[in-house]
Amino acid sequence: MKHPYRLLAAVAAAFLLSAAARAAAWTEDYSKALETAKKEHKLLLLDFTGSDWCIWCKRIDADVFETQKFKDFADQKLVLVTVDFPRQAKQADAVKAQNKALNDKYGIEGFPTLIVLDGDEKVVFKQVGYEEGGPDAFIAKFPKASK
């Protein structure tokens, strides 16, 4: 074999891409996410956002959700649900109806609002608005058993 290091590098790259694809995957399907959370004994994070217009939502995405520290934590402890209220982006009618129902159920009054639920849909904690501190401050809010 002429270049065994190329093969090794290709395998390593494929592994890293695969791990990155699994890390902290978000869904819009609340029912399936709840089912997964129960099955895997994880908490459910609902991110109520205005993805295409809310500057603070974009900031929490960049400062917390897109960090490797959060992704690693989420992989182990969370099922992630985006509950989006865009102004420009199109959404399926079923997603709009689901998001309105969740908005009404949890009394959302501003964006971003983050709600963490246990498998019985009990609110573990709620954060309204953007808070400084990046992933460390956000992760610190979780119950000690979650760490």
Instruction: Tell which CATH classification among 3.40.50.10190, 3.40.30.10, 3.40.50.720, 3.90.1150.10 matches the domain 23-146.
Output: 3.40.30.10
d(CA 49, CA 32): 19
Express each pLDDT in 67-84 by its tens digit: 999 999 999 999 999 999
Tell me, what's the pLDDT at 20?
42
**Count of Cβ atoms closer than 10 Å to residue 41 Cβ:** 9
* For range 21-48, the mean pLDDT: 90
DSSP character string of 52-89: TT-HHHHHHIIIIITSHHHHHHHHHHEEEEEEE--SSS
With cut-offs at 50, 70 and 90, classify the pLDDT of residue 142: confident
Cα gap 134→132, rounded to integer Å: 6
Q: Which residues contact 124 (CB under 8 A, 6 or more apart)?
A: 43, 116, 117, 118, 142, 143
The pLDDT value recorded for residue 108 is 97
Q: Residues 25, 79, 60, CA angle at the centre, nearest 5°?
A: 65
What is the distance between the alpha carbons of residues 91 and 80, in angstroms, rounded to a whole number? Answer: 18
Beta bridge partners of 43: 78
**pLDDT above 80: residue 42:** yes
**pLDDT confidence of residue 143:** 75
Q: What is the pLDDT of residues 27-36, one digit of tens each?
A: 999 999 999 9
Average pLDDT over residues 3-15: 44
Distances (CA, A) of 109 to 65, 130, 136: 21, 14, 25
Mean pLDDT over the full length of the chain = 87
> What pLDDT does residue 147 have?
43
